[in-house]
Chains A and B, each alone.
Chain A
Amino acid sequence: MDFELSQDHKVLQSAVRDFVEKEIKPIAMKIDEDHAIPDALVQKMSDMGFLGSYLPEEYGGAGLDMLSYAIVVEEVSKACGSSGVLISAHTSLASGPIYTFGTEEQKKKWLPPLNSGEKIGCFLLTEPGAGSDAGGTATTYSRNGDHFVINGSKTFITNGGYLGTGILIASFDRSLKHKGISAFIVDLQSPGVTILKNENKMGIRGSYTTAFAFDNLRVPVENLLGQEGKGFNVAMDTLNGGRIGIASQALGIAEGAFERALAYSKERKQFDQAICEFQAIQFKLADMWTRIETSKLLTYKAACLKDAKKNYTMESAMCKMHASETATFVTKEAMQIHGGYGYIADYEVERMYRDAKITEIYEGTNEVQRVVISKLLLS
């Protein structure tokens, strides 16, 4: 058993790190203040290939693997959780399902503009009355000639504000519960799509979280993703892969906060010594680092299992749950180590503390992750 990254992954990690250090870190606070990631940064991340890391080269992706993708999201999130989730939602939740469930025609049509960043992807599952319970989807579709007609609403859609390409989950007949659900590839520039609002949030403020209404949105039949009535499988499989992305984002946020806390503990002096000389701070650092390391091991393991085409449902649920709880723990302790300064917006741990919380909630709440894990243990 070798816990070292391969040389290729190290080259990638170092390249992403350099990019993040120069292009993202200096503007991360401004992204939070402005509630927006500058278009120029989205373009630069696209040029770097961050938006198509594990998709094959024939569809305009970089052709790397899931572990590379996890490293990209992690490194970006060390500086900016908003930019991290942009990549994660785009790749895992839009390009991912098209690649996994799409026909050859669909892949050729939809993946290149996603991989190049010309279109930003999103996943339209959550509704005002259905989040973790995908079977409760109330957005409906009906067939009308060579189109499906979609009516309903979606909420909390990460990346929705870009109006790019969405994977939309809708039900044919609500009484059929999850058996009535299908998935569609949707061009969000189409007539019938309305943005109700972009939410104002506690953290990851640079990321769009959008509410949509769909009023007779017409989707060509060839945009059905996977088989009709099998949309629940598409949704579950997509979330499964997406959890690795969110775990990587949470891991990155935790590492970013840890780096700052460690540095600050060496600089800050109280009672004539650096506060890192106090055992109270040393124990905090030890706890933080241990949780970061276990989160990393779990996240990388889940990514490697997916790369090896092995079952990774348990690991993706565990890494998402553990890394997100690590993120909230580490950012909280990082703020504590900073004392009063940590509570001030000028110090980045304040932002990281706010950014961390969502990772326990989205992509399946941690309560749902515990359901997934325990069900597998008892099955």
Chain B
Amino acid sequence: MKLLVCVKQVPDMESRFKPDASGVWYNEADLAFRMNEYDEYAVEQAVRLREELGEGTLLTVLSIGPDRVVETIKKALAMGCDNAVHIQDTTVSAKDPWQIASIIATYAQDKQFDLIFTGMQSQDRGSAQVGVTVAELLKFSCTTTIVGFAYDSCTVTTKREIEGGIKGVVTLKTPALVTCQLGLNIPRYPTLPNIMKAKKKEIVAIQVTDFMTTESRVTTTHFHSPMKKSGGIVLEGDVGELVDKVRAILKEKSLVLR
């Protein structure tokens, strides 16, 4: 059985973001990078399945980006992936989700993967399009935002989040792709011995130009900080007075009391 997990390296979300010179993306200088949180759930689930299935199963991790994404690839290897593909691309942030999905699909189309795991979305761009688009391009069955996963002889059973806190159960036949959500699992820490073992695992580096088949369909025109929130209001007085004031404000400024 062949498994693929796709991971993206994103900046630490605690960072301060500033627009770059082009004005359409953030300035990457001085940012600390790490694995996209949702991709950690994907890696963990893929590794668990790999461990469950044992020998004869091969789990590959794929990432697109400049040299620094190798750190994220190595983390995935230390968590338990068997080998890696680094699609080298120094301008990855200028590509839209359609192009990224096309690159992954072009790479994967002749590799006979049975199951592909991705994060639900990335923490920086947050489009949530790459996973589903890869599935569409490869004609894989697909489900998104999974919080439960089981596999048994070519059948994947997932629990997925639906609006309003409801969960749905979706069953898919392989080949399939799932996108992983918070709550699916608790990703393991890469242990020191496994970090050491990961050094010996193969990372195949390929130029992105080998898989570039499409033009972008979406263009980013502007990147700016969110509008500054106006200052809050501090209300004073006894309880009855406060309730009246809150009611008046809610009536005037919101839809809650209409």
Where the two chains meet, the residues of A that have a C-beta atom closer than 8 Å to any C-beta of B are 7-8, 10-12, 14-15, 18-19, 47-50, 52-53, 57, 61-64, 68, 72
Interface pair B71/A49, CB less than 8 Å apart: no
Q: Please, which residues of chain B bring their CB within 8 A of the CB of A68? A: 192
Chain B interface size, as a band, is 10 to 19
Interface pair A15/B190, CB less than 8 Å apart: yes
Q: Please, which residues of chain A bring their CB within 8 A of the CB of B191? A: 15, 47-49, 62
Taking the complex as formed, is B170 at the interface, i.e. its CB lies under 8 A from any CB of chain A? no
Interface pair A15/B196, CB less than 8 Å apart: no
Interface pair B71/A18, CB less than 8 Å apart: no
Interface pair B71/A62, CB less than 8 Å apart: no
Pick the contact of B78: A15, A50, A53 (CB < 8 A).
A15
Q: Give bound CA distance, A12 to B189, whole Å.
A: 10
A sample of 27 inter-chain contacts (CB < 8 A) reads A7-B74, A8-B199, A11-B74, A11-B75, A11-B190, A11-B195, A14-B34, A14-B71, A15-B78, A15-B192, A47-B191, A48-B189, A48-B191, A49-B194, A50-B192, A52-B192, A53-B192, A57-B193, A57-B196, A61-B193, A62-B192, A62-B195, A62-B196, A63-B196, A64-B196, A68-B192, A72-B192
Where the two chains meet, the residues of B that have a C-beta atom closer than 8 Å to any C-beta of A are 34, 68, 70-71, 74-75, 78, 189-196, 198-199
**Interface residues of chain A: helix, strand, loop or mixed (majority):** helix
Interface pair B71/A12, CB less than 8 Å apart: no
Pick the contact of B71: A11, A52, A63 (CB < 8 A).
A11
Q: Give bound CA distance, A8 to B73, whole Å.
A: 11
Q: Please, which residues of chain A bring their CB within 8 A of the CB of B196? A: 57, 62-64
- Closest-by-CB residue of B relative to A12 is B195
Q: Give bound CA distance, A14 to B72, whole Å.
A: 10
Q: Please, which residues of chain B bring their CB within 8 A of the CB of A19? A: 189
Interface pair B74/A8, CB less than 8 Å apart: yes
Q: Please, which residues of chain B bring their CB within 8 A of the CB of A57? A: 193, 196
Interface pair A48/B192, CB less than 8 Å apart: yes
Q: Please, which residues of chain A bring their CB within 8 A of the CB of B193? A: 49, 57, 61-63
Interface pair A10/B189, CB less than 8 Å apart: no
Interface pair B75/A15, CB less than 8 Å apart: yes
Not counting A11-B195, A15-B189, A62-B195, a sample of 16 additional A-B residue pairs whose C-beta atoms are within 8 angstroms of each other reads: A7-B70, A11-B75, A11-B78, A12-B192, A12-B195, A18-B189, A19-B189, A48-B189, A49-B193, A50-B192, A53-B192, A57-B193, A57-B196, A61-B193, A64-B192, A72-B192
10 cross-chain pairs, A with B, having the tightest CB-CB distances, nearest first? A49-B192, A62-B192, A15-B190, A63-B196, A62-B193, A11-B74, A49-B193, A49-B191, A19-B189, A7-B71
Q: Please, which residues of chain B bring their CB within 8 A of the CB of A61? A: 193
Of B191, B192, B193, B195, most buried by chain A (CB within 10 Å of CB) is B192
Chain B's nearest CB lies how many Å from the CB of A87?
11
Q: Give bound CA distance, A61 to B197, whole Å.
A: 12
Chain B's nearest CB lies how many Å from the CB of A379?
38
Q: Give bound CA distance, A62 to B191, whole Å.
A: 9
- Closest-by-CB residue of A relative to B194 is A49
Q: Please, which residues of chain B bring their CB within 8 A of the CB of A8? A: 74, 195, 199
Q: Please, which residues of chain B bring their CB within 8 A of the CB of A62? A: 191-193, 195-196
Of B68, B70, B189, most buried by chain A (CB within 10 Å of CB) is B189
Q: Give bound CA distance, A12 to B191, whole Å.
A: 9
Q: Please, which residues of chain A bring their CB within 8 A of the CB of B68? A: 7
Interface pair A64/B189, CB less than 8 Å apart: no
Q: Give bound CA distance, A53 to B194, whole Å.
A: 11
- Closest-by-CB residue of B relative to A5 is B71
Q: Give bound CA distance, A288 to B190, whole Å.
A: 32
Q: Give bound CA distance, A64 to B190, whole Å.
A: 14
Chain B's nearest CB lies how many Å from the CB of A114?
14
- Closest-by-CB residue of A relative to B187 is A18
Interface pair A15/B195, CB less than 8 Å apart: yes
